Amino acid sequence: MIKQELSQGIKDAFPIVLGYLPLGFAFGVLARDAGLSAFQSISMSALCLTGAGQFIAIGMSKSGGSLLAIILTNILVNLRYALFAASTVPHLQGRVSPAAATALSYGLTDEVYAVSMNRYRSREATTAYLAGLVFTAHLSWIGSTFFGALLGHFIGNTEQLGMNFALPAMYISLLVILVRRKSELYAALAAALVAILVGQLIPASMSTNFNIVAATFAGATLGVLLRE
């Protein structure tokens, strides 16, 4: 049973891996371009698992942003994970030990959350499944960063290879998997609309990706209201 659940978690991580490979590679390239060593780039992916936050940190560092500003911006952008974690509690409670849930929560990303929640619709949560999903996804991110950091100097512009569209494409595919009811579609559309409006109304220099946080709260709030 444990082996089967672990194997299923690894298999379910494959779509995430396909999205992480170009993104992690692009991050490795950009990190080296920003002045980080290969070791520092890989360590950042290993110790700070937040794709969007890592790209933000690199961009702010390259433009001369202070360490405090980078940390505060990452906290703001990643506030959404507090909502994600809270919504997984009913599925994990009584099935995954608090110690295991705490350890595996480090690998809670948007993609891991989407795939695991889709799984919990038809199956109970298990430690083995979650471990397989989290570790496979995380290792792919670290590995792709490694190759990007080592081979990045051969690539002048990652956008020419379409790597800049890899993240939105992965999010769209995950959204299609998750949306099954009209209420979920309305919540998704509301979040998208808020993200666009806030992004347009607040200058980029001031927003610090606040549109992501605003969209998360708007979508989550509407989703709860429509469920009741």
pTM beyond 0.85: no
pLDDT of residue 71: 83
Three-state secondary-structure class, residue 148: helix
Give 162 or 198, the one with higher predicted confidence.
198
By mean pLDDT, which of 34-43, 85-94, 204-213 is the weakest? 204-213
Sequence-distant (≥ 6) Cβ neighbours of residue 124 within 8 angstroms: 91, 95
136, 104 contact by CB (below 8 A): no
What tens digit of pLDDT does each residue of 2-41 get?
A: 889 999 999 999 988 988 888 888 888 888 877 888 898 8
Helical residues (DSSP H) of the chain, grouped into ranges: 2-12, 14-33, 38-47, 51-62, 67-77, 80-92, 98-104, 110-120, 127-151, 166-178, 182-201, 204-207, 210-227
Q: Is residue 207 scored above 70 in pLDDT? A: no
Mean pLDDT computed over 45-66: 79
Cα–Cα distance measured from residue 121 to residue 216, given in angstroms and rounded to the nearest whole number: 21
210, 52 contact by CB (below 8 A): no
What tens digit of pLDDT does each residue of 141-186 get?
A: 999 999 988 886 666 565 666 655 655 666 676 677 667 778 878 8
Burial (0-12, 13-18, 19+ Cβ within 10 Å), 55: middle
Q: Where are the domains of the chain?
A: 2-162, 179-228
Mean pLDDT computed over 110-137: 90
What tens digit of pLDDT does each residue of 167-177 get?
A: 566 667 667 76
Provide the CB-side half-sphere exposure for 107 (13 A, CA): 23
Q: Is residue 44 scored above 70 in pLDDT? A: yes
- In sign, the C-alpha dihedral spanning 174, 179, 183, 122 is negative
92, 126 contact by CB (below 8 A): no
Q: Is residue 208 scored above 60 in pLDDT? A: no
Mean pLDDT computed over 102-123: 88
Cα–Cα distance measured from residue 184 to residue 219, given in angstroms and rounded to the nearest whole number: 9
Three-state secondary-structure class, residue 113: helix
pLDDT of residue 136: 95
- Residue 181 has what DSSP assignment? S
